[in-house]
Amino acid sequence: MCSLVTRVFPEVDRELACWRGLCGEMEDGELALQAASSIEHKRFHAQGGSVYALYPGTPLSPSVKLIVSLQTISDYLDNLCDRMGTQEEAALRQLHLAVLEAVDPRGGLSDYYRLYPHKGDHFYLNRLVQKCREQVEGIPAYSAVMGCIKKYAGLYSDLQVYKHLPQEVREDRMRNWAGRFAQEYPEISLWEFSAASGSTLGMFAMAAAAFNPSLTPQDVKELDSAYFPWICGLHILLDYYIDLQEDLQHGDLNFVQYYKNMDECEERLSFFINRSFAACCRLNFPDFHRTVVMGLLAMYLSDAKALKEFNRAATLRLLGRGGGNTRLYFRLCRMLRSLGKL
């Protein structure tokens, strides 16, 4: 955790500053605004994801460059979907080709704005995609994990498209999409599957593991089953848990709202915590992955929204479920928040 704050966060800040500087070169003012806003207000996504730059055997600088550029694509596209009023499925899917092409260095680059009403980003999105591709080409065993990473990227892109469709159709479209995978993941609901699809952590974990040139197919299989749906699902369910009241007020989609009450929500989050920890035991460097799970609990549950009256008791119980150093990490996250570092 000390290394994350003292070694990784400064690297993340430098990378984000470089991308922030390119926003001012955009011809389209609205695109420039959303690009800058995504960096300013979603910095903690890149900070949290960059914990994988500390995965044993992983070179710090190339890892941070990959994680920051891929997460910046995700956050920028999320802003374009959320803030610009475009709900055409074809346009949203065309934009999200950037995610798929960023993790596959073999093909060409698409015209991501071809169906989008705003253009003129001075190759900002293309540069982000190219930066990702440059980094993955230097990962020794990337060919062993690319299939899984492309799977995650495809699920992520599908989710982002469906969740940003008009309110009257998005739920049915998402249910039909998630239903196609129900038999593969019988222990979770369609909405929990959808939540897991919204995480980028599986992509980061796979890329970090692939710096080991001796990575085996069994290693990849175990990592896949640990992260999807368990660690990825826990990640996004925690995100929706802290935003529940805010999303309900604004009519935004929130997967936690599909639980019948907060007791069921707490029960299912506890289930994901337990399954995540259990899955870590089968992985290489299990302590690293356990620390990631504890860090997720600490980072999200240290948000002031998680400690309001209506869910404070549940939050404290969930922290207890984390065991180990979770409360220590929670106090550290609270301190970093008070200092404006998180």
Token readout for 87 is: 């709900």
Residue 17: partners with Cβ closer than 8 Å, 6 or more residues away: none
Binned at pLDDT 50, 70 and 90, residue 171 comes out as very high
Q: In this predicted model, what pLDDT tens digit does every residue of 186-237 receive, in sequence order?
A: 999 999 999 999 999 999 999 999 999 999 999 999 999 999 999 999 999 9
| pLDDT > 80? residue 85 | no
End-to-end CA distance of the chain: 13
Compute CA 86 distance to the chain's CA centroid, rounded to the nearest angstrom.
22
Three-class DSSP category at 199? coil
pLDDT category of residue 250 using cuts at 50, 70 and 90: confident
Distances (CA, A) of 321 to 205, 269, 293: 23, 10, 11
Do 7 and 60 form a contact (C-beta atoms < 8 A)? yes
Q: pLDDT at position 61, please? A: 96
The pLDDT, as a whole number, for residue 328 is 94
CA dist., res. 313 & res. 311, Å (int): 6
Give the integer Cα–Cα distance in Å for 307 and 124.
38
- Give the pair of three-digit tokens for residue 197: 């699809």
Query: Is pLDDT larger for residue 246 or for residue 89?
Result: 89
At 249 the pLDDT is 81
Could you report the per-residue pLDDT of 138-151, keeping only the tens digit for each? Answer: 999 999 999 999 99
Lookup: tokens for 181: 């995978």
> Which are the contacts of 40, defined by CB distance < 8 A and separation ≥ 6?
20
What pLDDT was estimated at residue 324?
82
The answer on pLDDT for 83 being more than 90 is no
Structure tokens belonging to residue 301: 């549950």
| Contacts (Cβ under 8 Å, ≥6 apart) of 95 | 77, 80, 81, 112, 113, 116
pLDDT(272) > 90: yes
Q: In one letter, which amino acid is 181?
A: F
Whether residue 97 contacts residue 108, with contact meaning beta carbons closer than 8 Å, is answered with no
For residue 156, pLDDT beyond 90 = yes
Report pLDDT for 13. 96
Query: Rounded mean pLDDT of 102-109?
Result: 93
Half-sphere exposure of 311 (CA within 13 A, CB side): 24
Joined together, the tokens standing for residue 21 give: 């500087």
The tokens for 117 are 């009403």
Stretch 100-106: mean pLDDT: 96
Report the distance separating Cα 311 and Cα 309, nearest Å. Answer: 6
Check whether 169 has a pLDDT greater than 80: yes
pLDDT at 290 over 80: yes
Q: pLDDT at position 34, please?
A: 96
Strand, coil or helix: what is 192?
helix
Contacts of 309 (CB under 8 A, 6+ apart): none
d(CA 91, CA 155): 17
Task: Identify the pLDDT of residue 310.
Answer: 75
pTM of the model: 0.96
Handedness of CA 303, 306, 312, 317 (dihedral sign): negative
What is the average pLDDT score of the chain?
Answer: 95
User: Within 13 Å and on the Cβ side, how many CA atoms surround 143?
Assistant: 4
Query: Is 148 in contact with 206 (CB distance < 8 Å)?
Result: yes
Q: What is the pLDDT of residue 18?
A: 96
C-alpha–C-alpha distance, residues 226 and 32, integer Å = 38
Mean pLDDT is lowest, of 56-65, 75-84, 112-121, for 75-84
User: Which residue would you say has higher pLDDT here, 82 or 4?
Assistant: 4
